[in-house]
Structure 1
């Protein structure tokens, strides 16, 4: 790594497992203090202990970021505890697949709330702190939005999930343009299929078909995406990695 994160603070949403947990551990290993945000406190406590075991510092924040008040409070609690906010990783998300014709609309509501509104609420609350941090010694601050290959390549059964990820892509690029001259780097990470619990949220009848589709596929690991995010935020301040698509070897998508 060209740049250590010692003295910085990172807030990671969806930090109770998968990409979020792996990213929190990776950033902590580089010296960042970590605000861990998710709904499952017991899982966050476990990640925090793993961070402390490697000499890192972590703050557990059990919050539902689909509630604007809780999202803003998570940001403020992180800043009050550590004194600044240098990196935000908007990772929280849910993937509920299936044909649009028979889909429970409640699933669409959940995806829009978590994947889109939660990201917007965290970003809105964090921006003033990130802009302030960008004027500090490090000379930059980072927003990392975790999207998906589905935001580029919609497939049957992923209509609304792909809609949420395409929306994240558009928001990320527009925001990048807005703050580009103020030293806040805004980056989009688009993972292909990753072996996480994301698939377990799918209805059983849809899950069976999804498992068959991916039965012989190579899947990425959460650590692969965490490594990518860590690479992005440890570049020199002059380097902006605006968009990274990460596919597994042999992917046809």
Structure 2
């Protein structure tokens, strides 16, 4: 089972989970478009679209770095068009780009509110919309949104209602599009980690080195995404997958490789429903 020759369009894939998914596909020999805004090195954030493309090529894939702000319809259309021109089509769309700010209602500036909704909800809708005509022509087409299960409990809203609304907007794209495109055989799913993931967002915004030490590497999300892409699109759609559960279904039982330096329990991610922790035999501390 391989992604050799398949083409992935990944938004915001210059670092973190998006890049990890790209590199996992590249090891199979896939083609990957990295559509993101980072063309110049950032003082606090690693990676650019060009460094990501270089890593993809070194891993065995083919890369197309495209400078793209997914808030801009014309830029997304151009990025998709260039992907099809270079690789002949699109097999998989990964909506990875996301903006975050965990502030309450009174502390949330409307400019930031707009940014989160434009990138998370609108961006996911727009990128999917542009890719779908090409996915309809693919043999096993998938859309994967890096978005949480729709667990409509007040605890997920009360401290950061604006962010939750924007993130759940991505999840609602999964819910609606999975039903809308059933006849076309396009799988539309969400994937979310049961634990925190050691990314720039965690290190810069969500607890720093302390939480990073209680987190897994992005590789677990990449391996879970790869497993989802291998599933028949007509038989695996409309799911809100959790990374560890996906891999357990594939026969994985040892998850220490994803956090080899952890000395204590890992931190559970937010948006993970209580019942997921209850049914998963995992040494992860549910802190929400």
TM-score by length of 1: 0.86
Matches of 1:23 and 1:251 in 2, distance apart?
A: 26
Map residues 130-149 of structure 1 onto 2, 5 A cutoff. 130-133=135-138, 139-148=139-148
Provide the residue aligned with 1:66 in structure 2: 71
In the TM superposition, residue 109 of structure 1 has moved relative to its aligned partner by 0.8
Answer yes or no: is 1:169 the counterpart of 2:171.
yes
After the TM superposition, which parts of structure 1 deviate over 6 Å for at least 4 consecutive aligned residues?
Answer: none
1:222 to 2:218 alignment: yes
Report if aligned partners of 1:130, 1:184 keep a CA contact under 8 Å in 2. yes
Q: How many residues align?
A: 238
- Whether contact under 8 Å (1:14, 1:20) holds in the other structure is yes
Secondary structure, aligned partner of 2:219: helix
Task: Verify: 1:191 aligned to 2:193, yes or no.
Answer: yes
Shift of 1:239: 3.7
Equivalent positions of 1:1-253 (< 5 A) are 3-42=1-40, 43-133=48-138, 139-148=139-148, 154-192=156-194, 193-199=196-202, 207=205, 210-211=206-207, 215=211, 218-237=214-233, 239-240=235-236, 242-246=239-243, 248=268, 249-253=284-288
CA offset at residue 73 of structure 1?
1.1
1:237, CA displacement in angstroms?
4.6
Q: Is the CA contact 2:104–2:159 (under 8 Å) kept in the aligned structure 1?
A: yes
- Deviation string 1:46-102 (CA, Å, 9 cap, x unpaired) is 111111112211001011111111111111111111001000000000111112112
Change (3 A) 1:152 1:49: farther
Relative distance call for 1:33 and 1:103 in structure 2 (3 A) is: same
List gaps (5 residues or longer) in structure 2: 41-47, 245-267, 269-283
Structure-2 change in CA distance of 1:80 and 1:146 (3 Å):
same
The structure with the greater share of residues assigned to helix is: 1
Structure 1: give runs of 5+ residues left out of the alignment.
Answer: 134-138, 202-206
* Structure-1 separation of matches of 2:54 and 2:212: 35
Separation in structure 1 between the aligned mates of residue 240 and residue 82 of structure 2, nearest angstrom: 29
Contact 1:218 1:250 in 2 (8 A): no
